[in-house]
Structure 1
Amino acid sequence: MSTIVNGSAQPNPPGYPHPNPCISFWLQGTRSSQLIGHRTTDKLPETADVVIIGSGISGAAVAYFLLTGPNPPEKVVMLEAREACHGATGRNGGHCRPDCYRGYKGYKNHFGKEQALKILRNEMDTLNLVTEVIDKEGIDCDFWRGRSFDIAMDKECREFFHTSLQEFIADGGPTEGIVEWIGDQEEARKRTRTSKAVAAAEFPAASLWPYKLVKHLLLLCIGKHGLNLQTNTPARSVSQTEGGWSIHTDRGDIKTEKVVYASNAFTPTLLPEFLGRIAPYRGQCSAIIPTKPFSGKNIMTHTFSHRWGLNDFDYTIQRPKDGIIIHGGGRWKVPIELLVGHTDDSEKLPVLTEHLNGFMKENLEGWGEEALGEGLLVDWTGIMGYTPEAVPYVGAVHGKPGAFITAGHSGHGMARTMTCSRGIAALLRGESYESTGLPECFQPTPERLNSSKITVEQLWCEADKTGIPLMH
């Protein structure tokens, strides 16, 4: 939301996470978790070597790579405003879906060819790193790796997909054995089981139970590497002290030499220079019980994204383990003023519930009538953090020694956060940004922070103007 100051709209600080959020499908299924209400020590430590603010996949992965890497610090404390992993990570679609071509043209227009290629390469690197960590640590999180379809639902989207793919290929982007273009309409409809498809592209993707991944990483770090997790302890403010930072909470203050902001949409509350640079964005997702034609041997073999034009899209993942379909989207069904700037994840928008409830029968060929117990099981709300360029802020915070950020993942965090967090761990150890392998354009440079701010009215316009699609 924004406030009018001297005739112009100014974004408001996001405040703090809502104390009583709704419960997602993922969180409903993990109510026995030993992380609920967890505090490693009854009393908040007075000092730490590193404090991580946020316990979603970004914060958990920073802790994991830092504590399992060389020369780990002795005292790492993680502060979480609510329960562990009850923010965006515990509410997303569990869709680890790299952009293998789609955003290339827009990124190139904005950042140049070299950075655009790095952005897309980083997403495949992330998918591979997620796979590696899950295999190495034996994490039971329903991980499944396969293929996905981008489905163009109109001619404008078909043109957008195809031209971006062709430009990516022309600039040397890797597509052989990775991206398959399906330009024939009938073939696209048959393969995607989507009656209104115009064209499609197929490429790698994966899915998982996000809370279970984060839970495993946090318990590993707590049990074997000394992480001190303090839930229900919101960081209210951070002030600079001699030799470090003092983080103020309702339970006292904690002093640290280094602090990591893994607080995504809520980051501008603690780092005002990011106000308007990271905009909260409320989305809605659902779990759906499939009809018989989409059950058993007829389960969907791919994950999906149906897209109209540049920025209207839904995404769909059918879980191989139980057949439940995770489906999110419909954001264009409501005025943008009801989405951007809102941080209340305790309520749902009825219009979006109606959209999620009807999407399958309206768009998937042969869905059929829903028997009692089939169809919409539950839907929920989550708060994302968007940036105008649709890339995150990852790196050292300018002018604040010992402060680091990984936030603003723009609804695309599962395809980016793991490598970003590994990079932050390297920076905490004193390594160079170049050593992280991350795109340089992710850095929170003064130039990025001094560019125009986001208002409610501008977010979609920024995406259309740059040609960078809002992701999934």
Structure 2
Amino acid sequence: MVLPIDNPTKSFWIEGAESPLRNHRSTADLPKQTDVLIIGSGYTGASFAYWLQKFASNGASPDIVMLEARDVCGGATGRNGGQLRPHFYSRYRNWSTRFGADGALKVIQHEAAHLKAFDKLLKSEGIAKKVCFKLGETFDAAMSEEAWDRLKGEYELMKKDHGENGPIIGECRLIEDPKEAEEFTQMKGCIGAVVHPSGQVWPYKFVHALLEILLGTAKLNLQSHTPALEVSARDADGYITVTTPRGDIKAKTVVHATNRWAGHLLDEFQKLIHGGRGTIAAIKAPEGFIKNTGAQHWDAVINNYHLQLPPPYNTIIIGGAKPLTVHDPWQYINNDKEDEQFRGVPEFYAGWPKRDIVGWQGNDPADLEKKVEEGGVWSGVYSSSIDSFPFVGPVPRRDGMPRILGSTAHLAPLVLRELGIEYNTPEAAAIFPPLPDPFYATEQRIDSLQSVDAIKKFQDDVNDNLASSKKPFAAPYPQVVTD
């Protein structure tokens, strides 16, 4: 049995939000029965619950119970980088090799649609400012010739296949003059950049804002600190029983929104979905100092990424630290230890603004928004699948159990049809194009991936990272001091 640890490092997103829903339980006792049971309260679970109620016609939305093993949204969504940064071009070579030019474009168009959908949803609910939502531009800053060759090559290949003004690629642009690139990105030593649309949000506040809306309808019962321990098959009466430490609950449909932890309840995903660990920090900064969200790239492995929150916060959120952590890749590859900090990372982040940002006006070393142990620097677990795509849709051979890792707007109608509830497509959901074929959780896909050697894949990733650690742009790695 694999469940998230109960003492993770503290995250600025969580500690800074001070949400009253953090340890929320709608009722003192766990309900005995519900229409839909959602396991997981992060972005996937909360957005699915939201779409389920938005799609339902005439207010006939189903009763929903949401279980969370820890505090509400205390996992990956409460620990990520806050960027809404679709892969407009940067994975085009890989995806076009696998799915062809048109197949790759469909995947990218699906990612890109999230920006307009976020904008529509947040403005319609009146919560855009509350969750620090902004649309703008982002950049990939090439910090070496190796990185520039790769980034520019991805852009040029997509332009060749779809035309300079083609869908998606027409929204991207190159900055080829090093002086102009450094000025736009504010990254010292940047030699070129690719720019495209993006957004940013306070992810934890976003999820909690959605849940507040749903709790106001009395259709959602939210239960924190209630891990799902076992999920039965559907019984003769059409119900699935979910076992928790606080008792059993029966549901007509169970939605697995557990991401990294899917294999805990669904054995067939144990080899297919694995954890990795990232590190992020929150740094004090002058108001409006960072013009655009962005990422620095030295090669295909070593990178940083950052954004700045709007007033009154003005906090820079910086993640990656790969110039440093690349020396010990087992710290983050197939690693769930979000109760630990990465060695040397707090000092690396504190030195980053002066070292890397043009015209940094703050302190050196920079001041964290909170003490390290109180949310200034944190780690968090993210999920990755063995073929790099989410599993969306009904789980084969498990009646009544959708599995979702994103794309929740596509799954809501399926569940409502199963429950016999009429539905209409809301405006924000209509923005999404059809779900790309590689996302579907088909029996053939799940079965074929069982034979992939995950251990070899992890070791290959480690070897690639160690090779990068020997390059001149890798940062010195602090030695372990022993008595």
Per the TM superposition, whether the score is higher than 0.5 is yes
Q: Structure 2 residue aligned with 1:167, among 127, 149, 157?
A: 157
Quickly say closer, same or farther: Cα 1:392–1:50, change in 2 above 3 A. Answer: same
Quickly say closer, same or farther: Cα 1:464–1:203, change in 2 above 3 A. Answer: farther
% identical equivalent positions: 32
CA contact (8 A) 2:260 2:383 kept: yes
Distance 1:448 1:456 in 2: 19
Corresponding position: 1:102 with 2:102: no
Per-residue Cα deviation, 1:67-108 (whole angstroms, up to 9, x for no partner): 121245432110000111111001111111111111111111
Structure 2 residue aligned with 1:367: 360
Task: Tell me the SS of whatever aligns to 1:105.
Answer: helix
Q: Structure 2 residue aligned with 1:267, among 262, 268, 284?
A: 262
- The structure whose Rg is larger is 2
1:136-155 matches, cutoff 5 A: 136-139=124-127, 140-155=130-145
1:457 CA drift (Å): 4.9
Corresponding position: 1:325 with 2:311: no
Structure 1 residue aligned with 2:281: 286
Structure 2 residue aligned with 1:348: 341
1:373 CA drift (Å): 7.0
Amino acid at match of 1:356: Y
Judging by fraction of residues, say which structure has more strand: 1
- Give me the TM-score of the superposition, normalised by structure 2: 0.84
Per-residue Cα deviation, 1:288-325 (whole angstroms, up to 9, x for no partner): 112xxxx246x111001111211322111011223210
Corresponding position: 1:221 with 2:214: yes
Quickly say closer, same or farther: Cα 1:456–1:354, change in 2 above 3 A. Answer: farther
Q: Structure 2 residue aligned with 1:388, among 383, 386, 389?
A: 386
Structure 2 residue aligned with 1:429: 416
More deviation in 214-223 or 337-346? 337-346
More deviation in 441-450 or 370-379? 370-379
Structure 1 residue aligned with 2:29: 43
Distance 1:193 1:233 in 2: 45
Distance 2:320 2:248 in 1: 40
Structure 1 residue aligned with 2:190: 197
Structure 1 residue aligned with 2:67: 79
Structure 2 residue aligned with 1:112: 100
Distance 2:239 2:119 in 1: 36
Structure 2 residue aligned with 1:458: 457
Q: Structure 2 residue aligned with 1:277, among 272, 281, 285?
A: 272
Cα RMSD, aligned residues only: 2.5
Task: Tell me the SS of whatever aligns to 1:21.
Answer: coil
Gaps of 5+ in 1: 1-12, 408-416, 466-472
Q: Structure 2 residue aligned with 1:445, among 437, 442, 445?
A: 442
CA contact (8 A) 1:279 1:454 kept: no
Distance 2:265 2:365 in 1: 47
Amino acid at match of 2:177: D
Structure 2 residue aligned with 1:57: 43
Task: Tell me the SS of whatever aligns to 1:26.
Answer: helix
CA contact (8 A) 1:426 1:436 kept: no
1:150 CA drift (Å): 0.6
Gaps of 5+ in 2: 371-375, 419-424, 465-483
1:460 CA drift (Å): 7.5
Distance 1:364 1:344 in 2: 30
CA contact (8 A) 2:276 2:333 kept: yes
Distance 1:181 1:154 in 2: 16
More deviation in 455-464 or 86-95? 455-464
Q: Structure 2 residue aligned with 1:405, among 385, 403, 406?
A: 403
Structure 2 residue aligned with 1:128: 116
Quickly say closer, same or farther: Cα 1:221–1:454, change in 2 above 3 A. Answer: farther
CA contact (8 A) 1:50 1:73 kept: no
Corresponding position: 1:336 with 2:329: yes
Distance 2:327 2:240 in 1: 41
CA contact (8 A) 1:333 1:351 kept: no
Per-residue Cα deviation, 1:259-301 (whole angstroms, up to 9, x for no partner): 11111111111111111211111111100112xxxx246x111
1:338 CA drift (Å): 2.0
Distance 1:131 1:460 in 2: 40
Task: Tell me the SS of whatever aligns to 1:197.
Answer: coil
Per-residue Cα deviation, 1:209-232 (whole angstroms, up to 9, x for no partner): 111111111111111151011110
1:335 CA drift (Å): 2.3
Distance 2:92 2:365 in 1: 44
- Give me the TM-score of the superposition, normalised by structure 1: 0.86
Distance 1:175 1:212 in 2: 29
Distance 1:191 1:123 in 2: 25
Amino acid at match of 1:277: L
Distance 2:292 2:463 in 1: 28
Distance 2:296 2:227 in 1: 37
